[in-house]
């Protein structure tokens, strides 16, 4: 009997590094035997952008999207294939579009997480609409920006309600900064957010399906040095909360490939940014953690297509809010209940079993590939596309060294 092939589409922007890695690893997967004895292969294809009839039938079973957050033609294609063709998408295009930072803050506040105090202020500049002048004169209430800032305390952060990639973010240290930042915000709609001063850790997690990697992040360093390679830097309790928070965001919004930023101070976890549905997975930022990310992306995509996991892109707030609103539950109990909901959503136990059987050869396979000349070529070409020629040697040594460290850690 021939194996069933599962075509996975890659909807890409300007990235070459991880797609090359993903394609190489999918090609090495070989014929897989599912728990029921049936046999499968996974193939990859880069998607192209072209006119589509809304009744066209796509042949992809799963699509990994990296483009729709700024290119709307493919975004509308994603919505069509989600609604009409049951194509499996790692991130729901519906919530992706509507659930900016602001909605994510609201959801996590309702779920009882320690989101710093946040205030949304009206636009600085008039809204471009003929009705604005009348509406504003009649209904916009004057407000005291200084008073709001004082209630949050300095320093605070001013950032767009739908931000990403540090666009429009400023740290506000005093009154002068405050008015400058607000005057500069122009047509952007801004949050003022209390900061968590003197935090012990900035944790950035990457979550793919039910797998989460918590990494120590140093936002003030240049890109190539932001992720520190340190293990066990969180207590067990904080580590669990960081994982649960990340997986809660994703299971709640139906995202399966997302990053989450949290600040940790005195054992308290403060989530600050967790709607990054096109998370950075560049080898030049993740370095040591890149093989982990590729393994998780490959395993989760494979699990979804081989087991025929049903896409469920539409959110169901009820079970989450039932936990949130239960007065009998303390913080720890709530976290445990959210983790259980996330595990049920991601079929975590069944996924682990699948990884241990059908995909048992994957860790060794990834190791071989990372140690191969193919990997080296990918790294070299990424370094050459990312940095000016006089930096090539330095960065090749830097990233090669960190990936080498990962390789030797696996052999221990
Ligand atoms: N409440 C906060 N407390 C401390 N630092 C913050 C806070 N909000 C933002 N920052 C800093 O600003 C950076 C950018 O803000 P963030 O909310 O992550 O926006 P973006 O979506 O653009 O990444 C963060 O990585 C962090 O360094
Ligand atoms: Mg951020």
Q: Which of 273, 274, 275, 285 to mutate to test the pocket of ligand 1 (most atoms within 8 A of CB)?
A: 273
What's the pTM? 0.96
pLDDT score at 388: 97
Question: Which protein residue's CA is at the shortest distance from atom 24 of ligand 1?
Answer: 219
Look at the chain and count its residues.
412
Q: Ligand 2 centre and the CA of 196: distance in Å?
A: 14
**Chain centroid to CA 199: how far?**
22
Contact 171, 181 (CB under 8 A): no
pLDDT score at 97: 67
Give yes or no for residue 188 CB within 6 A of ligand 1.
Answer: no
Strands 257-265 and 227-228: unpaired
Question: Which protein residue's CA is at the shortest distance from atom 1 of ligand 1?
Answer: 195
Pair of tokens at residue 96? 């992706």
pLDDT score at 211: 98
pLDDT score at 118: 98
Domains in the chain with CATH codes: 4-98 (3.40.50.20), 117-194 (3.30.1490.20), 201-411 (no CATH)
Which residues make beta-bridge pairs with 89? 63
User: Is residue 186 left, alpha or beta, with left meaning phi > 0 and alpha meaning psi from -120 to 50?
Assistant: left
Q: Ligand 1 centre and the CA of 268: distance in Å?
A: 17
Helices 17-29 and 373-386 pack at an angle, to 10 degrees, of: 160
Which helix (H) or strand (E) is 201 found in, with range? strand 201-208
Question: Which protein residue's CA is at the shortest distance from atom 4 of ligand 1?
Answer: 195
Q: Which of 163, 261, 276, 285 to mutate to test the pocket of ligand 1 (most atoms within 8 A of CB)?
A: 261
Pair of tokens at residue 77? 């294609």
How would you write the pLDDT of the chain (412 residues) with one tens digit per residue? Answer: 799 999 999 999 999 999 999 999 999 999 999 999 999 999 999 999 999 999 999 999 999 999 998 999 999 999 999 999 999 999 998 887 666 889 999 999 999 999 999 999 999 998 899 999 999 999 999 999 999 999 999 999 999 998 888 899 999 999 999 999 999 999 999 999 999 989 999 999 999 999 999 999 999 999 999 999 999 999 999 999 999 999 999 999 999 999 999 999 999 999 999 988 899 999 999 999 999 999 999 999 999 999 999 998 889 999 999 999 999 999 999 999 999 999 999 999 999 999 999 999 999 999 999 999 999 999 999 999 999 999 999 999 999 999 999 999 998 6
Before 155, cis peptide (omega within 30)? yes
- Sequence-distant (≥ 6) Cβ neighbours of residue 281 within 8 angstroms: 18, 206, 290, 293, 297
Ligand 1 atom nearest to CA at 220:
27
Give yes or no for residue 196 CB within 6 A of ligand 1.
Answer: yes
Three-class SS of residue 330? coil
Phi, psi of 173 (to 5 degrees): -95, -25
Contact 288, 402 (CB under 8 A): yes
Give yes or no for residue 220 CB within 6 A of ligand 1.
Answer: no
Contact 391, 67 (CB under 8 A): no
- In 104-144, the DSSP E strands lie at 118-121
Burial (CB count within 10 angstroms: exposed 0-12, middle 13-18, buried 19+), residue 265: middle
pLDDT score at 98: 62
Q: Ligand 2 centre and the CA of 216: distance in Å?
A: 14
Give yes or no for residue 204 CB within 6 A of ligand 1.
Answer: no
Pair of tokens at residue 90? 């790692």
Q: Which of 109, 149, 157 to mutate to test the pocket of ligand 1 (most atoms within 8 A of CB)?
A: 157
Give yes or no for residue 159 CB within 6 A of ligand 1.
Answer: yes
Pair of tokens at residue 60? 């992809």
In whole angstroms, give the CA distance from residue 64 to residue 123: 35
Nearest to residue 206, comparing CAs of 18, 3, 407, 394?
18
Which ligand gives the minimal distance to the CA of 217?
A: 1
Secondary structure (DSSP) of 121-163: E--SSPPSSTTHHHHHHHHPPP--HHHHHHHH-SSEEEEETT-
């Amino acid at each position: 009997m021939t194996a069933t092939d599962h075509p996975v589409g890659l909807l890409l922007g300007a990235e070459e590094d991880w797609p090359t890695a993903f394609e190489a690893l999918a090609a090495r997967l070989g014929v897989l035997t599912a728990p029921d004895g049936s046999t499968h292969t996974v193939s990859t294809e880069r998607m192209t952008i072209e006119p589509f009839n809304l009744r066209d039938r796509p042949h992809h079973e799963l699509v990994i999207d990296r483009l729709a957050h700024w290119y709307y033609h493919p975004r509308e294609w994603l919505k069509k294939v989600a609604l009409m063709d049951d194509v499996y998408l790692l991130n729901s295009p519906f919530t992706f579009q509507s659930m900016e930072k602001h909605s994510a803050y609201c959801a996590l506040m309702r779920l009882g997480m320690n989101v710093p105090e946040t205030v949304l202020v009206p636009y600085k500049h008039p809204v471009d609409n003929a009705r604005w002048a009348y509406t504003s004169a009649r209904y916009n209430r004057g407000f005291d920006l200084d008073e709001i800032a004082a209630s949050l305390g300095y320093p605070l952060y001013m950032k767009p309600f739908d931000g990403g990639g540090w666009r429009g973010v400023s740290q506000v240290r005093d009154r002068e900064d405050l008015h400058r930042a607000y005057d500069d915000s122009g047509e952007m709609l801004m949050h003022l957010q209390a900061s968590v001063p003197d935090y012990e850790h900035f944790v950035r997690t990457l979550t793919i399906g039910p797998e989460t990697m918590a990494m120590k992040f140093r936002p003030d360093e240049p890109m190539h040095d932001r992720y520190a390679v340190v293990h066990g830097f969180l207590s067990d309790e904080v580590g669990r909360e960081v994982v649960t928070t990340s997986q809660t965001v994703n299971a709640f919004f139906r995202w399966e490939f997302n990053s989450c930023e949290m600040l940790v101070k005195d054992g308290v976890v403060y989530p600050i940014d967790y709607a990054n549905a096109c998370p950075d997975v560049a080898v030049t930022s993740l370095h040591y953690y890149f093989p982990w990310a590729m393994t998780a992306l490959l395993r989760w995509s494979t699990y979804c297509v081989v087991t025929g996991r049903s896409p469920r892109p539409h959110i169901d707030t009820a079970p989450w809010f039932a936990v949130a609103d239960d007065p009998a539950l303390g913080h720890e109990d709530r976290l445990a209940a959210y983790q259980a909901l996330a595990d049920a959503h991601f079929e975590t136990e069944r996924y682990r079993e699948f990884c241990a059987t059908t995909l048992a050869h994957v860790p060794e396979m990834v190791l071989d590939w990372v140690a191969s000349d193919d990997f080296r070529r990918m790294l070299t070409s990424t370094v050459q596309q990312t940095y000016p020629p006089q930096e090539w040697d330095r960065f090749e040594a830097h990233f090669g060294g960190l990936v080498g460290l990962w390789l030797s850690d696996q052999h221990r």
